[in-house]
Amino acid sequence: MGKCELCGKEGSRLEADHKELGRIMVCQECWSNLYDGNRMTCSIGASGGSCPCCR
């Protein structure tokens, strides 16, 4: 538990590798926004390569 580093909302957070901000902890909502906007560097793709930004 903690505060989202983007919107400040408290709750469970997810780790995101933001392209400009680096590694940050954000809420589910902000994580989805980052993901949809392709604003994360891809750490998911390292394991499977299934992420659209890594292809």
DSSP 44: S
Q: Which one of residues 16, 24, 27, 40 is an interface residue with Zn ion (CB under 5 A)? A: 27
Q: Which one of residues 6, 16, 24, 40 is an interface residue with Zn ion (CB under 5 A)? A: 6
From the DSSP assignment, how many helices (H) and strands (E) are in the chain? 2, 4
* Cα distances (angstroms) measured from residue 8 to each of 11, 13, 15, 29: 9, 11, 14, 12
Q: Is 30 in the site for Zn ion (CB under 5 A)?
A: yes
Q: Is 16 in the site for Zn ion (CB under 5 A)?
A: no
Q: Is 7 in the site for Zn ion (CB under 5 A)?
A: yes
Contacts with Zn ion by CB under 5 A lie at 4, 6-7, 9, 26-27, 30
